[in-house]
Amino acid sequence: MVSTVKHIITLRPLFHNEKDCIGIYFPYNQTLIKEVKAINGVKWSQSNQCWYIINTPENFKHLLAHFKGKAWLDIRALQSEHKSVKFISTKQKHQAKTPKKEVQKKIEEVEIPYSYKALLERQRYSPNTIKTYCSLFEQFLRFYPNKHPNDITEDDIRTYQDYLVKKRKVSISTQNQAINAIKFYYEKVKGGERKTYYIERPKRGKTLPNILSENEVLRILKSTTNLKHKSIIACLYSSGLRIGELLNLRISDVSFDKNIIFVRGGKGNKDRTTILSHNLKFVLKKYISIYKPNYWLFEGPSRKKYSRSSVNQSIKKSAKAAGITQRVSSHTFRHSFATHLLEKGVDLRYIQTLLGHSSSKTTEIYTYVSNKSIAKIKSPLDEILEDKNVNNNKLKNN
């Protein structure tokens, strides 16, 4: 018998009005709306733009029974919310005299709650932050394979933090991100409840940014023969852009008449403008005329945004050709941009605006790496010796 079911309904976990619910999603359809309204306990959520019902085993079974023969139910996301994910024991990697092929364990993928990623997207977190948070939260769930996220305690979170620090020896930055990813689930996804974890959040050490000299920047640009790559590196340095901001640039964001670049949705989803180098204008115009980008200023072969890996590879190649031995990344040019402006006497507040820093304390780090500013400070030894020379001359003249 051939099935006549044409409609597809997706059931997803939903936390609404401080309760665990089942979200019922489908394209607008009068027939399905009528069917949903006929189910006792189903309500419409204006904020989530979906129908929902309290998440209980009875309601779940009732949904399956009600739509049988009327619509296909996609319940994969809902199942991942309740199923405990099993993993192969990590004890394998500590077994002695075991062949490498046997030691390599196959880890099943963890399906993090659908509501976790959905809320990140609704709150307009950047794609990179979403990817990082999901990855870190997934690692956290792997650490407790036999526990549902709602059953994990404060002590469990503390134990995992100790594991990150003592066993994995992650950086302070990674540790902080992992804590934020975990807190996002328990405080934001689960209804905004601020649980008291008493996690000792580490203070980030004050590390000075790595910068290039003006001569080194010039050598890198001269060593870059590819016009697109030369335009990218020149743009990063002359405007102080982050790599994500560079890749998000549209052709229309560059104002050749006003000598500015409009940065859309920078860090923290903040728009700003930064300077467009007079010399870069000619390079960009030549690049546009030859490469003919369609929408994004820097595009790949398929007309999509140019990839981060391509930018990083081109920078690494150019730095090597220029004989630069220190590690050079896209952010190195941003650091160099800020430091060189400071050395030219540009006010720190203007540099803060150009970089898009929300706090002046972030920009102040460049005062520690400005060689010319430091060189202007006279050593107290020179002051003492100069005073003594003056006194000695006076004595000799007498």
Q: Which domains are assigned to the chain?
A: 7-82 (3.30.780), 85-90+109-205 (1.10.150.130), 214-374 (1.10.443.10)
Catalytic residue among 147, 188, 267, 317: 267
Q: Which of 177, 382, 352 is nearest to 266 (CA)?
A: 352
In this structure, what is the dihedral angle of CA atoms 123, 126, 132, 134, given to the nearest 10 degrees?
A: 30
Catalytic residue among 114, 160, 306, 366: 366
Long-range pairs, 46-51, Cβ under 8 A, ≥24: 47/16, 48/14, 48/16, 48/23, 50/14, 50/23, 50/24, 50/25, 51/23, 51/24
Angle, CA 307 vertex, CA 302 and CA 313 arms, to 5°: 120
Q: What is the pLDDT of residues 229-263, one digit of tens each?
A: 999 999 999 999 999 999 999 999 999 999 899 99
Residue 197 is a catalytic residue: no
Pair of tokens at residue 5: 């079911």
3-class SS at 73? strand
Q: Is residue 239 within 8 Å of 272, Cβ to Cβ?
A: no
Residue 267 is a catalytic residue: yes
Catalytic residue among 190, 334, 335, 340: 334
pLDDT value for 368: 67
pLDDT < 50 stretches in the chain: 1-3, 81-109, 197-198, 392-396, 398
Q: Strands across the sheet with 71-74, in order?
A: 43-45, 50-54, 19-25, 7-16, 71-74
Residue 357 is a catalytic residue: yes
Catalytic residue among 66, 117, 183, 242: 242
Residue 106 is a catalytic residue: no
Pair of tokens at residue 110: 């963890």
3-class SS at 239? helix
Residue 376 is a catalytic residue: no
Integer CA distances (angstroms), 288 to 250, 281, 285, 296, 333, in order = 12, 10, 5, 11, 22
pTM for this prediction: 0.55
- Helix (H) / strand (E) element for 226: namely none
pLDDT value for 348: 84
- Helix (H) / strand (E) element for 116: namely helix 114-122
Residue 334 is a catalytic residue: yes
pLDDT value for 153: 85
DSSP state letters, 301-335: TTSSBPPHHHHHHHHHHHHHHTT--S---HHHHHH
